[in-house]
Structure 1
Amino acid sequence: MGVLRPATVEVETSLRLVAPDATALPVRASLRYDPLDPYAVHVLFHAETVGGEPVSWSFARDLLVKGLDEPAGIGDVRVWPWSTPRGEFVALALSSPDGNALFEVPRSVLVRFLRRTYVVVPRGKESDHLDVDAAVARLLSAR
């Protein structure tokens, strides 16, 4: 019998895209954690068009954890606590050559998601789940 592979953690949620005029638009998204990529979390933004491919952003799980309580990240991905009259959120700022976007993520959704990821791969045990050969193959095939 083979080794049981820990399950991927995936949570569907609605984020709010904060427009420059401070209005906010709901955006369907998924938070995903794959134990085979144990240091990263992935946010998939679902296109509203039929057949539209989701846009995926990946960044360090630790960045998301740190951003729950204090500003974290530099460059393409920044995360920080965000309090509003509507409740507690986490701001997720994404930058790319195509532009910048600021999202509000419900803090409670992120906390539940992160707790589930730590059940699958506890903090400090990520290297036990890393398939170095597969990671190197992915890097080399990306050229």
Structure 2
Amino acid sequence: MGDTVRAQVMMSFLASEELAFLIPVDLVYETEDPYAVRFTFCLPGDAPVSWVFGRELLVDGISHPSGEGDVHIAPVCAERLADLHIQLFAGSERAVFRVSAPPLVAFLDRTDRLVPLGHEEAQQDIDAELDRILAGGRMP
């Protein structure tokens, strides 16, 4: 059983150039899956939608454009830590969100205290060993 970091941030869902909705987004990091962060978007009038992001992608996206495929993260202003754009692609559909960087940095800092970036594999080995011990396995 691993530890969990939870947070909620407010993001602007940019529906169009003229229209944006402020929505709550739940962030969850679990040491059982140390490479990933789950975002659950609570869109108005729809069921919550969850996406799994690579934790390293989030860290990289704070300072420079990152991502390929379905997820792109980039700072709005390269000169200072301010806001980020998060773009999600599902087929031909695209959703764009704007979020303040400091709450994400604070969340990522809390995840780094549990499992330092770059030490995820060691965490998975520890979790597997604990699971084996708790299941009644013998030590070699």
- Structure-2 residue corresponding to 1:114: 108
- In structure 1, what is the Cα distance between the partners aligned to 2:44 and 2:73? 25
Kindly provide the amino acid, as one letter, of the partner of residue 65 in structure 2: P
Compute the displacement of 1:54 (Å). 2.2
Compute the displacement of 1:24 (Å). 2.0
Higher Cα Rg, which structure: 2
User: What is the correspondence of 1:124-135 to structure 2 with a 5 Å cutoff?
Assistant: 124-130=118-124
- Structure-1 residue corresponding to 2:24: 28
Q: Give the superposed CA RMSD.
A: 2.2
- In structure 2, what is the Cα distance between the partners aligned to 1:65 and 1:112? 11
User: What is the correspondence of 1:86-105 to structure 2 with a 5 Å cutoff?
Assistant: 88-97=82-91, 99-105=93-99
- In structure 1, what is the Cα distance between the partners aligned to 2:19 and 2:48? 23
- Alignment coverage as a number of residue pairs: 124
Kindly provide the amino acid, as one letter, of the partner of residue 38 in structure 2: H
- In structure 2, what is the Cα distance between the partners aligned to 1:73 and 1:24? 23
Normalising by the residue count of structure 2, what TM-score does the alignment of the two structures yield? 0.79
Kindly provide the amino acid, as one letter, of the partner of residue 34 in structure 1: E
Kindly provide the amino acid, as one letter, of the partner of residue 25 in structure 1: F
1:72 aligned onto 2:66: yes
- Structure-2 residue corresponding to 1:12: 8
Q: What stretches of structure 1 of length at least 5 have no aligned partner?
A: 135-143
- In structure 1, what is the Cα distance between the partners aligned to 2:37 and 2:18? 27
- In structure 2, what is the Cα distance between the partners aligned to 1:76 and 1:114? 21
- In structure 2, what is the Cα distance between the partners aligned to 1:53 and 1:17? 15
Normalising by the residue count of structure 1, what TM-score does the alignment of the two structures yield? 0.77
Instruction: Work out whether residues 12 and 98 of structure 2, in 8 Å CA contact, stay in contact via their aligned partners in 1.
Output: yes
Q: Residues 75-119 of structure 1: CA distance to partner in whole angstroms, max 9, x if unpaired?
A: 100000013xxx811110000026111101110011001000000
Kindly provide the amino acid, as one letter, of the partner of residue 22 in structure 2: P
- Structure-1 residue corresponding to 2:76: 82
1:62 aligned onto 2:44: no
